[in-house]
Structure 1
Amino acid sequence: MADLQFSTHLKWRGTGRDGEGVVTLAEDGVVYSAPASMGGKGVGTSPEELLIAAVASCYSGTLFRLLKKAGLPVEQLEITAKGEVTDYPTQAKFSRLRVSPVILGADRSRFEEYARVATQARDHCFIGKAIAGNVSYDVGKVDVK
């Protein structure tokens, strides 16, 4: 088995919530800072949104693969992902992440199968597994269209 490595490049300027950075992803720069709701600059995205996006992007690819493997019709997925930070500002903790998939091109009569596979995808997404034990990670409403 091979070990794989992934890297990214970041630049940061400023102190704490007053700072701002750029992360380079696939040759595109994405500006990030602490969110305004946490007293930050609110410029670009935030580390919290980047974490949510990382888990949700892994989940979406895993779900699509598992739906195909199960022989369930699917054309496209739309994922809404939400994260929650609790005990802000004293002991802030990223406490919950929920993914809610909409499965397009689905066979509505097989809803229960889609819902089962949606939960399986959560358990198979290796980026999601990286937060296990630290963040409550669940599947919200599953919709088939």
Structure 2
Amino acid sequence: MNHSFVLKAEWDGGRNSEGRIEAGQLKTAISIPKEMGGPGIGTNPDEMLLGAAATCYLITLAAMMERAGLPVQKLSLESEGIVDVTNNIFTYVSIAHKPYILLEETASEKDLEHARKLAEKAEGSCMISRAVAGNVALSTMPRIEKSENGES
């Protein structure tokens, strides 16, 4: 079964102008980021690729942990994308995911290890990660802890 996603875009002018995109619930302004000599209005392709990779990874990890029955209290993520600029050629080099997984105080050492394995496995199970594999280096650096006395 195929799923179709449609994005509509408009662009006003030349390189340093701005535009708008709309795809389902995503509606935002777009432009070249200030770091790359643009106006920095709205989002940009670099942030969108990072956002796609990060949200896909996070949702995949959450689903895998739920299926495994792990006692997750909190799940958050920080992801970083690196873009290289050499001879005015922009190349997306890497994406590093740094998930934070807090398991409930009832979690066992086996649960902690299972969470670590799933954090690593989720990268290869994510559709976006598979789409960019071979072109962008992907890494995962999970931090997994067990709650103590109801902390969150």
TM-score by length of 2: 0.84
**Cα distance between partner residues in 1 of 2:102 and 2:29:** 32
Moved over 4 A (4+): none
CA RMSD of aligned residues (A): 1.9
1:1-145 residue pairs with structure 2 within 5 A? 2-16=1-15, 18-27=16-25, 29-88=27-86, 90-106=88-104, 107=107, 109=109, 110-144=111-145, 145=147
SS in structure 2 of the partner of residue 92 of structure 1: strand
Of Structure 1 and Structure 2, the greater strand share is in: 2
Q: Aligned AA for 1:4?
A: H
**Cα distance between partner residues in 2 of 1:91 and 1:98:** 21
Q: Aligned AA for 2:83?
A: V
Can you give the 5+ residue segments of structure 2 that lack an aligned partner in the other structure? Answer: 148-152
**Cα distance between partner residues in 2 of 1:142 and 1:62:** 17
Q: Which of structures 1 and 2 has the bigger CA Rg?
A: 2
Q: Aligned AA for 1:97?
A: I
Contact 1:34 1:40 in 2 (8 A): yes
Can you give the 5+ residue segments of structure 1 that lack an aligned partner in the other structure? Answer: none
Q: How many residues are matched? A: 143
Identity of aligned residues (%): 30
